[in-house]
Amino acid sequence: MNKSLTREEMRELDRRTIEKYKIPGIILMENAGRNVAEEVIKMINNPEEVKVAVLCGKGNNGGDGFVVARHLHNHGISVCVFLITRISDILKDGDVSTNLHILLNMKIPVIETYDIKGVNNIIKELNNYNLLVDALFGTGLSGDVREPFKTLINGVNNLNKPVVSVDIPSGLDCNTGKILGTAIKATKTVTFAAPKKGFYSEDGPHYTGEILVTDISIPKHLLI
Tens digit of each residue's pLDDT (9 = 90 or more) over 51-98: 999 999 999 999 999 999 999 999 999 999 999 999 999 998 899 999
Q: Is the peptide bond before 148 cis (omega within 30 degrees of 0)?
A: yes
Contact between 215 and 176 (Cβ < 8 Å): no
pLDDT number for residue 11: 95
| Length of the chain counted residue by residue | 224
* Nearest Cα to Cα of residue 171 among 190, 198, 151, 144: 144
pTM of the model: 0.96
Q: Report domain extents, the chain.
A: 7-219
Report helix, strand and coil shares of the chain as percent, to nearest 5.
45, 15, 40
CATH architecture observed for domain 7-219: 3-Layer(aba) Sandwich (3.40)
Strands (E), 49-148: 51-56, 78-83, 110-112, 131-135
Reported as a single tens digit per residue, the pLDDT across 41-63 is 999 999 999 999 999 999 999 99
